Each structure stands twice: as structure tokens, then as C-alpha cells.
Amino acid sequence: MSPSKRQRGNQFQDRIKKFLESQGWTVHNQKSVATLIKVRGQEIWTSKRNDIFGCIDLVARKGGQTPLCIQATLDHGVSKRIKELEKIPWNLACENVQVWYGKPGGEIVIKIFNGVELIELGRILRGKFYSLEGGET
């Protein structure tokens, strides 16, 4: 049996957390939660979003660095992501708001939110970050 959408999303968030921790970041990973509800007398489990501000899945801090607020997704609907991020009064001079997209094959595309749009920052492939400016970091 293949993992549910919630399980895949939680696994993706775990991958991001592990990567950031390997780079010296301290990470809070806010996962979706399962809730038991009754429907027509039957108990069923349902997935409930538990995002920070309704759009952030991970918050990471590292001494001397701007804090990261990350939305992790396996869904590439860009306009939906922007609408969610636009609802929050970010202070982009003090916060780095990013969307990390999981792609087939394990690649992760990282885009930064500038208050209006998402701009590609780089990619993670096989555990290494590659900046758009060129080169591995």
C-alpha cells in the first residue's frame, strides 16, 4: 500500500528538516495531524492541516542568519502558494520566506517569496544545494 498524501507530505518535511539540520540549522517541523471523527456513526481518521499562519510548515534558525519560514509542498500550484503567503504581513527584511517543492526523483526546488512572486533560488539534488548563480554550496 502506498503512503497517503499526508504521509508523503510529512516524509517530505522530514527530508527538509534533516537537510537543514545537516547545515547547522535548528528546525521546528509543524506537521499535519490525524484526527478521529465520527461520520454516520462510524469513526474515521481525517488529516487536519496544522500549518503556522496557515501556510508555513517549517521554521529554521541559525546564528547570524535570517530565519527561514518554509512552505513545503509536493503540489506545484504556484498561484495557490502565493495567495496563502500574501495573507501574512511578513517583514521580509527580517524573514526569509521560501517554498520548497519536491519533484519526482528526489530533487527539491527552492523559491523565495519577495512579497509579490516566487523567484527560484536554487535546487537540492542528492543532498547538495546548487545555487542559480552557479555552483554547489
What architecture is domain 5-131?
3-Layer(aba) Sandwich (3.40)
pLDDT tens series, the chain, 137 aa? 677 777 888 899 999 999 999 999 999 998 666 677 788 888 876 665 667 788 899 999 999 999 999 999 998 777 888 898 999 999 999 999 999 999 988 999 999 999 999 999 999 998 899 998 765 55
Q: Which residues contact 31 (CB under 8 A, 6 or more apart)?
A: 10, 13, 50, 57
| Cα–Cα distance measured from residue 135 to residue 125, given in angstroms and rounded to the nearest whole number | 12
Which residue intervals of the chain are DSSP H helices? 5-22, 78-86
pLDDT at residue 125, rounded to an integer: 92
- Cβ atoms of 70 and 19 closer than 8 Å: no
| pTM, full prediction | 0.82
pLDDT at residue 78, rounded to an integer: 77
Residue located via cell numbers 547547522: 24
| Cα–Cα distance measured from residue 5 to residue 29, given in angstroms and rounded to the nearest whole number | 17
pLDDT at residue 48, rounded to an integer: 58
